[in-house]
Amino acid sequence: MGLEYIKHQNTQFVKQGAARLGFDFCGISKAEFLEEEAPRLEKWLSENRHGEMKYMENYFDKRLDPRLLVDGAKSVISLLYNYFPAQKQNKDAPKISKYAYGQDYHEVIKNKLHEFLQYLKEQIGDINGRAFVDSAPVMDKAWAAKSGLGWIGKNSNLINKENGSFFFIAELIVDLELETDGPIKDYCGTCTRCIDACPTEAIIAPYVVDGSKCISYLTIELKENIPSEFKNKMDNWAFGCDVCQDVCPWNSFSKAHQEPMFTNQNNLLTFSESEWQDITEETFQIIFKKSAVKRTKYKGLKRNLQFLKTKKP
């Protein structure tokens, strides 16, 4: 068997394995330095668009070159996993992002990635690889776009032409040479709905988000008090924000996920405003034990709820 045939066969194993584990889309890129991203990332950091997310300044080289993360890396396998819910939250209550309705995606997706890597080793043989899901210095949106899973929209989210943007992005970086997929064109066109709708005007220019103004940053990453300039601008979001995705026309194609672990099991979505405001630390620990909401901790959630309640004079 020739090398090209083996490469093709291994690529088929990758695509089949991804589908078998429930990933909605799978694309492959050559593991190399992200030349176009480097100046953009440097500029974004130098303008302090990352606010207090100082970890974004760490491992600059590793963020841009997967070969520094995995010895002998040859391919980046990018994967999308749908989280768009069929469930709706009580519209009068403080809001949480759709990705946090069910169990923490880090755990759910990471387990699937380890299973995926094991499957590839069984099919192909001993390969070296690492799994990533929003928890290491990997520019997941850039890799997903590079492998044709979508394009980076004006809200800086990856948008898939078939199903919109409510996806978790994950990667396997492997020392396996595979057939690569190319990028697709940008289909945002002249649309500015995400820019116009952002409650805090965090999308300061098409494709540029000031992270320090983003509601997701203010309710999750920021550890200090939320600046008073954002009073009455939070659109009742207590954890994260979906506004720029909700208004995106491409999300009219979103289909409800089929992952039981992303379905809310504890009546959280029916909570009234008073139930949210009266939540105790004990209740918080029970309800959010397996949820991404635990990232903001009880103190952070109470701060967010209090901030929503206090109106600017």
Q: Where are the beta strands (DSSP E) in 69-187?
A: 75-82, 95-96, 129-132, 151-152, 158-159, 167-174
Of residues 54 and 266, more confidently modeled: 266
Name the residue among 164, 241, 259 with its Cα closest to residue 201: 241
Residue 66: the pLDDT is 87
Residue 69: the pLDDT is 86
Q: How confident is the model at residue 213 (pLDDT cuts 50, 70, 90)?
A: very high
Q: What mean pLDDT comes out for the span 202-224?
A: 93
Q: What percent of the chain has pLDDT over 70?
A: 91
Residue 141's H or E segment, with its range, is helix 140-146
User: Lowest-pLDDT range, 33-42, 188-197, 246-255, 283-292?
Assistant: 33-42
Residue 38: the pLDDT is 62
Residue 37: the pLDDT is 73
The string of pLDDT tens digits covering residues 140-156 is 999 999 999 999 999 99
Would you say residue 252 has pLDDT above 70? yes
CA distances from 288 to 51, 78, 81, 185, 284 (A): 26, 29, 22, 39, 6
Q: How confident is the model at residue 241 (pLDDT cuts 50, 70, 90)?
A: very high
Name the residue among 42, 12, 231, 240 with its Cα closest to residue 139: 42
- Model pTM score: 0.92
Which residues are marked as active site?
134
Residue 217: the pLDDT is 93
Residue 48: the pLDDT is 58
Task: Give the whole-angstrom CA distance, residue 120 versus residue 203.
Answer: 40
Q: What mean pLDDT comes out for the span 245-268?
A: 95
Return all residues near 300 (Cβ < 8 A) that are at least 6 apart: 219, 220, 223
Q: How confident is the model at residue 64 (pLDDT cuts 50, 70, 90)?
A: confident
Tokens 């396997």 appear where?
A: 172
SS3 272: coil
Tokens of 290: 């397996």
User: Lowest-pLDDT range, 42-56, 66-80, 116-130, 169-183?
Assistant: 42-56
CA distances from 47 to 142, 195, 208, 252 (A): 20, 19, 11, 34
Residue 44: the pLDDT is 59
